Amino acid sequence: MLKNDSRAKMRAAFCFGIMTLTLCRAQNPLWTGEYSRKGKWEIHGSVEYLVGDTATFSSTGLSLQLDDTFTGGAGFGYHFLDCLSIDVDLFGGSARFTGRDVFGSPATTSDATLFGGNVNLNYNILKKRLTPVITGGVGLINFSGGGFSETDPSANVGGGLRWDITDRFFIKVMGGVTWTEIQGDNGYNLFTAEGAILLKSISVSGGYKF
C-alpha cells in the first residue's frame, strides 16, 4: 500500500509539474509574444562541430580524407526586416588529412589548419523571440599544412532555432551542410565529384544585439 501511495503521489507531482510548465510557457512573452528585430545589429561567437568527408580524384584514383573536427568563430549581422538578416562570419580550427592510394590504403597523414569566412542570408520564420531559422550563403575556406596551402570556394545551407532571450542577448542552434572542394589537377569543380567534399555541421552560438 505504501509503495502504491508513493507512486501515486509521484505521478500526481509529475503531472502537476507538466501542467505548471505548460501554463507558464503559455503566458510567458519570452515564448509567445511578438518580437521585432528590424534595424538591429548584432555580434556573436560560435562553436561548431564539422563531420569530415573524403575528396576523390578520378583522374589519379587518389583520395584525401578530412577527419571530423571542431571550429570556433565570430561575426556580426544586421536585420533588414523582422524576418530577414545578413551575417558575416569568420571561423577556424585544426584539421587532419589522410591521403589514400588507388587501393584505398592510407598513404600519408598531415595535420593542418582550416580558416574561412561566410556571408549568409537568414530567414526567421516567426516574428517571435523563439523562431525556426533557415540560412544559406557562400564563402571561402583555406586549408594549410603538410606542405600545401589553398583557398577554395564554398556554399552552405542550413536551419535551426533562434531564441532572443532578452532584448540584448540571443542564442542559436543550427545544423547544415557546406560544399567545397580540394583543388585537383583540373582546377575548381564545385558541386561535381572531382575533389568535392560535403561537410555536415552543428553549431551553437550566442550574441549581443544593439
The residue assigned the cell 556573436 is 44
Q: Which residues contact 196 (CB under 8 A, 6 or more apart)?
A: 55, 179, 180, 181, 189, 190
Residue 21, pLDDT score? 47
Q: How far is CA 11 from the centre of its chain?
A: 39
pLDDT exceeds 50 at position 191: no
28 and 40, same structural domain?
no
Answer for the pair 143, 150: CB distance below 8 angstroms, yes or no. yes
Q: Which residue has the higher pLDDT, 9 or 174?
A: 174
Q: Is there a single domain that holds both residue 88 and residue 27? A: no
Same-domain check for residues 45 and 115: yes
Q: Which three cell numbers stand for residue 22?
A: 505548460
Q: Are residues 67 and 1 in the same domain?
A: no
Please count the structural domains in the chain. 2
Do 160 and 202 belong to one domain?
Answer: yes
Domain that holds residue 24: 1-32
Average pLDDT of the chain is: 82
Can you give the CATH number for the domain in which 124 is found? 2.40.160.20
The DSSP element (H or E) to which 152 belongs, if any, is strand 148-163
Q: Which residue, 118, 109, 107, is CA-closest to 205? A: 118
User: Both 131 and 187 in a single domain?
Assistant: yes
Instruction: Please write the tens of the pLDDT for every residue from 11-65.
Output: 555 555 555 545 445 455 555 578 999 999 999 999 999 998 887 776 666 777 7
Indicate whether 104 and 21 sit together in one domain: no
Q: Are 19 and 51 contained in the same domain?
A: no
Q: What grid cell was written down for 144?
A: 594549410
The model's pLDDT over 83-115, given as tens digits with 9 standing for 90+, comes to 999 999 999 999 888 776 665 566 677 788 999
For position 110, what pLDDT does the model report? 77
